[in-house]
Amino acid sequence: MKSEQLRSNSPLPRGSHEGVLPLKGVGGSLYFAEQVIRKLPASLDYKLVLLKNHEDNIVLRDGKLEKMLRATSLSLAINLYLDGREGFFYTNNLQADAVESFIRQAFETTRLLEPDESRMLADPSRYYKGGGPDLQNFDASLCEIAPAEKIKLLEETAREVEGKDKRIISMQTRYVDRQHEAHYLISNGFDACEQSSYCTLTSIISVEGESGQHPMDGWGESRLFFHQMPRQGIAQTALQRTLRKIGQRPAPSGRYRMILESPCAGNFLQPLLTAMNGQALQQDTSFFIGKLGEQVVSPLVNLVDDPLQVGTRGAALFDYDGVATQRRELFKEGRLMTYFIDTPMSRKLGMPPTTQGTHRLIMESSEPAPSPLPLWGSATKPLYNGCENEALPQRGSGEGAPTILVTDFNGGNCDPVTGNFSYGIEGFLMEDGIIIQPVSGMNITGNMLDVWQRLVAVADDADPWEAELIPSLTFEDVAFSGC
Amino acid sequence: MVKNSARLSQNTLTSSRRGDYADIFFENTDISSMVLQDGKVSQAQQVCLHGAGIRAVKGTETAYAYTMDLSEEGLKKAAKAVGIAPSPLPLWGSASFSLPLQHSGFVALPQRGSREGAETFRQFLLKAEAKAYALDPSIIKVKAYVAQRMQQVQYAGSDGTAFHDLRPRTALSVSIVMERGGQMQMGYASRMMQMGADFFTEAVIDEVVGEAVRRTDFLFTATQIEGGEMPVVMAAGSSGILLHEAIGHAFEADFIRTGDSIFTGRMGQEICHPSITIVDDGTLPNDAGMLRFDDEGIPGQRTVLVEKGRLNSFLYDRISARHFGVKPTGNGRRESFRCPPLPRMRSTYMLPGEAKEDDIIRSVRRGIYAESFTNGQVQIGAGDFTFFMKTGWLIENGKLTRPLRDLNIIGNGPEALRHISMVGDTLRIDHSASMCGKEGQKVAVSQGLPTVLIDKLTVG
């Protein structure tokens, strides 16, 4: 099912929608809210979003049902704009009298604010005008699939490791699916709906470790449609990832080559994205102030936001402001290509508006390196995203240099003004491309702008099912503190 | 009405076809907030959350459904989803919020959307901004945020437990940007209390603004250091994050029940020095973690987790308490009606010892004095925890010699407890806005600590 522009010019008579109306049956709440706003004793601009979310969340513990949640929620989000004043209001009580009372209170609150001329709706010329592709990112059947079928999937997953290792203490297997539907109605000419869905299956396992420790790790995979869900491999991967953590201890402090495993590499990118935010620029809390167009990170960094890829997570035809999405280069060969500037920040900063944030992040390399993920000890086959993959090299990168493969972060933070960071990590110490010791209780420290200049390899192993496709990354000369 | 309501819930819930316990949790929450930015209070938010969660429990198995539709039909549908047969079913809709109301006598909040309420917020923010600019001429930006949350809850369980409560919570946060010689720094401070209109005092503004300005000023001279293992003196107050991450989560009894926690099977054992007693407390007046009743009807109480060095109690919700054959400790909490309750912390702190802070610092040849923190995390199974120190000092030869910033501190829960060698004589509870996350649910907590010395932690 596709997201659909329903109205390109306001106002149109009620009931004039074209195409799909996913919120059929409840969409009346939206138009009722609009009517209430139009009766207010002042002329306001508004953005109304009616949200419908359905979720199933089922947990098995050691193969037996532990928790099951099934619910559908409806809510209404309202932005009111009155002569430079902006109020945001949200309610899930959609009874007519409650909505009317809520909006009247919202109006009174907005009226009491001080004007700020930057607070206004987006220019309607930037709105999505319809005619986009069917994004093929909504599984309408999710809420109709019987819980028993989802439980069966979980039971199959749990059975993969049942009785496979005496060290297993506990295994949690969780299935979550969500359907998201939203209908947008903006007073200066936007009326459209969007839908998306995803399903996730995860397995988390704890085992008896050394010195009374209970190492725990997991693995999970997401898809847009239930029928795409993988039927095997998730629990096995979770068990492998847990067992390989037995014996974790800090390695000596020093400077190491750092390989960031793909599933956690996106976390390390986050401070760069935060620093691109218009609000951070305007508040002088960004280390990217004044750096647009400059080479700020390694030339290997090519990062795009591509919301228009059909059949993928994060795909969207318009953003929360109704603005049409487009493929956008964020970094090109290390140069900072854009900031995230919404309408208010555009006016405050005197810069052209871009977008609020990202939808589907993709880090690309013109010459992708082979996956740097290593052989596991003396094993004969490497692990890649939990699956044996014959195509990968028999040795990981890192020959000749002391290397730490980081598989997860454990706390830490980054100062948004300076870019100085310190993060806890866990992973593996490697020598000549072979893992020799699981490590934990270590920190990496440095400065974001400095460390991203030290990026020397970008692999091609990102999980295409995720909304952030950040592959494994290799950085030279990173400061680790340990024992 | 009250009797009808109680009978309704009990009749309905005991007719459950599945399980040995069932309950219903009604919620009506109003949240109002305003932001001051660029010298103007030009943004406001209001949120209304309204609904009911219905749970059926059999052993450790939970079926849960929630609905925003509090009509008879809506509640019947939710009850059916969890396997409860609501027959005969009186009018559920009239049952909501009908029990006698209990609350602590806080000062009433201004009505949502009222001129009085908005003006209270606005004046509070403007005063905070003015005080900040008056404190330091190098301040170039002040952003202030005030929020009030009024949660009205009503609970009924199949064992006859029932309560109706109002839970106010008000918070102020202030962030400051200073510029000196072309260099920028940003600092932040906050307060969050279970208070209503009585929160809006000059004293709160002075505390929060003063703290934010001091922290920002500190950052101009503070540096990072080369890391490694070293002694860490945790300053009294927000250092309580140590307890929250190092032992608090691992004491949550769902992790004990599944065997995941590193403290599984250690009840009654000595886990740290006999001078150490650690408490999780739901009775501190106005504290963010205070609960007259938890979210499954258990009265608020004080739970001694570690008594004179021995593991004395875990944090139990109803399910884990039944599993272990003990009484629940009032730690069953949930973010909202959309979530089933889980064992969660309230206010977690260590009782004071006898050492003077100066003596503790003097005892360290080279180490860290950790003063303020931003965030923390723990891995339950391994017991490895981290917390991020925003400001602190290098200790050399028993003296604070160099301001430090932005260091991640890592340790292992049981080991860190064993390595606490000195406990200060003054306990301080930290009332910064502190939200704890677990399984996607956030709840308000607080923590406290007297100054303590930990002989060995990894500093980043």
Cα B209 from chain centre: 22
Contact state of A483 with B37 under an 8 Å Cβ cutoff: no
pLDDT digit string (tens) for B151-164? 999 999 988 888 88
pLDDT digit string (tens) for A352-366? 999 888 999 999 877
| CA dist., res. A278 & res. A346, Å (int) | 8
Distance (Å) of CA B164 to CA B93, B102, B149, B196, B288: 15, 6, 17, 18, 19
- pLDDT at B102 (0 to 100): 65
- pLDDT at B383 (0 to 100): 83
* Closest approach of B354 to chain A, Cα-based (Å): 31
| Mean pLDDT over each residue of chain B, to the nearest integer | 89
Burial B263-281 (b: 16+ CB within 10 A, else e): bbebeeeebbbeebbbbbb
On the question of pLDDT at A181 being above 60, the answer is yes
B window 26-55, beta carbon within 8 A of A: 32, 34, 37-38, 40-51
Cβ–Cβ pairs < 8 A, chains A and B: 257
What 8-state DSSP symbol labels residue A39? Answer: T
B window 176-215, beta carbon within 8 A of A: 177, 179, 184-186
Phi, psi dihedrals of residue B125, rounded to the nearest 5°: -70, -40
Cβ-based contacts of B380 with chain A (< 8 Å) = 214, 216
Superfamily of A4-243 according to CATH? PmbA/TldD superfamily (3.30.2290.10)
Residue with tokens 């890391």: B227
Q: How many CA atoms lie within 13 A of B408 on its CB side?
A: 31
Region B366-376: mean pLDDT is: 91
| CA dist., res. A10 & res. A185, Å (int) | 10
Confidence of residue A217 (pLDDT cuts 50, 70, 90): very high
Cross-chain CB nearest to A116 (options B42, B46, B179): B42
Q: B91 is written with which tokens?
A: 């009018």
Nearest C-alpha in A relative to B230: A483
CA B295, B296, B302, B304 torsion-angle sign: negative
**CATH code for B2-219?**
3.30.2290.10
Tell me, what amino acid is at B91?
L
Contact state of A170 with B259 under an 8 Å Cβ cutoff: yes
- Strand locations in B38-161 (E): 40-58, 61-67, 139-157
**Cβ atoms within 10 Å, residue B88:** 8
Cβ-based contacts of B184 with chain A (< 8 Å) = 284-285, 417
Directed axis angle between helix A234-243 and helix A147-159, to 10°? 40
On the question of pLDDT at B380 being above 90, the answer is no
- pLDDT at B112 (0 to 100): 62
Task: For residue A482, give the 3-state DSSP assignment.
Answer: coil
Q: B219 is written with which tokens?
A: 């950052």
Region A243-253: mean pLDDT is: 92
Per-domain residue ranges of chain A:
4-243, 248-483
Burial class, B439, CB count within 10 angstroms (exposed 0-12 / middle 13-18 / buried 19+): middle
| CA dist., res. A214 & res. A235, Å (int) | 17
For A77-86, B80-89, B141-150, B419-428, which range has the lowest pLDDT when averaged over its residues? Answer: B80-89
Region A411-428: mean pLDDT is: 93
| CA dist., res. A306 & res. B415, Å (int) | 47
**Cβ atoms within 10 Å, residue B401:** 13
Say whether residue B418 is in contact with chain A using an 8 A CB cutoff. no
* Closest approach of B382 to chain A, Cα-based (Å): 5
- pLDDT at B99 (0 to 100): 67
| CA dist., res. B165 & res. B344, Å (int) | 19
Phi, psi dihedrals of residue A20, rounded to the nearest 5°: -75, 140
- pLDDT at B183 (0 to 100): 92
Contacts for A63 with CB less than 8 Å, ≥ 6 apart = A155, A158, A159, A162, A171, A173
Directed axis angle between helix B202-219 and helix B115-135, to 10°? 40
- Strand locations in B308-434 (E): 310-311, 332-333, 342-343, 347-350, 366-378, 384-396, 399-412, 420-430
- pLDDT at B441 (0 to 100): 95
User: ipTM of this predicted complex?
Assistant: 0.88
pLDDT digit string (tens) for A301-320? 999 999 999 999 999 999 99
Region B44-57: mean pLDDT is: 93
Phi-psi region of A5 (alpha: psi -120 to 50; beta: other; left: phi over 0): beta
Which of B25, B48, B111, B143 has the highest number of chain A CBs within 10 A, making it the mutation to test binding with A?
A: B48
Q: Which of A108-122, A359-373, B317-331, B366-380 has the highest mean pLDDT?
A: B317-331
On the question of pLDDT at A287 being above 50, the answer is yes
DSSP string, A233-298: SHHHHHHHHHHTTTT--PPPSEEEEEEE-HHHHHHHHHHHHHHTBHHHHHTT--TTTT-TTSB-S-
| DSSP H/E element including B3 | helix B2-14
**Cβ atoms within 10 Å, residue A264:** 18
Contact state of A422 with B408 under an 8 Å Cβ cutoff: yes
Nearest C-alpha in B relative to A423: B408
Percentage of the residues of chain A whose pLDDT score is greater than 70: 88
Say whether residue B382 is in contact with chain A using an 8 A CB cutoff. yes
Residue from A140, A149, A172, A174 nearest A69 by CA: A174
Cβ-based contacts of B406 with chain A (< 8 Å) = 413, 415, 420-422
Confidence of residue B109 (pLDDT cuts 50, 70, 90): low
On the question of pLDDT at A25 being above 60, the answer is no
On the question of pLDDT at B89 being above 70, the answer is no
For A194-208, B112-126, B246-260, which range has the lowest pLDDT when averaged over its residues? Answer: B112-126
Confidence of residue B107 (pLDDT cuts 50, 70, 90): low
- pLDDT at A17 (0 to 100): 35
- pLDDT at A24 (0 to 100): 53
CB-based contact A364:A304 (threshold 8 Å): yes
* Closest approach of A456 to chain B, Cα-based (Å): 24
Which of B408, B415, B454 has the highest number of chain A CBs within 10 A, making it the mutation to test binding with A?
A: B408
Cβ-based contacts of B34 with chain A (< 8 Å) = 113
On the question of pLDDT at B51 being above 60, the answer is yes
| CA dist., res. B68 & res. B66, Å (int) | 7
Which of A36, A50, A66, A69 has the highest number of chain B CBs within 10 A, making it the mutation to test binding with B?
A: A69
Percentage of the residues of chain B whose pLDDT score is greater than 70: 90
Cβ-based contacts of B63 with chain A (< 8 Å) = 67-69
Nearest C-alpha in B relative to A103: B113
Q: Does the pTM exceed 0.95?
A: no
Contact state of A415 with B406 under an 8 Å Cβ cutoff: yes
- pLDDT at B103 (0 to 100): 61
On the question of pLDDT at A4 being above 80, the answer is no
pLDDT digit string (tens) for B8-29? 444 444 444 456 889 999 999 9
Cβ-based contacts of A109 with chain B (< 8 Å) = 32, 44, 46, 112-113, 118
Q: Bigger pLDDT: A29 or B351?
A: B351
Cβ-based contacts of A70 with chain B (< 8 Å) = 65, 81
| CA dist., res. B250 & res. A411, Å (int) | 16
For A226-240, A325-339, B13-27, B72-86, which range has the lowest pLDDT when averaged over its residues? Answer: B13-27
| DSSP H/E element including B167 | strand B162-180
**Cβ atoms within 10 Å, residue B392:** 29
Q: A429 is written with which tokens?
A: 């110490």
Per-domain residue ranges of chain B:
2-219, 228-459
Task: For residue B210, give the 3-state DSSP assignment.
Answer: helix
- pLDDT at A381 (0 to 100): 34
- pLDDT at A392 (0 to 100): 32
CB-based contact B83:B18 (threshold 8 Å): yes
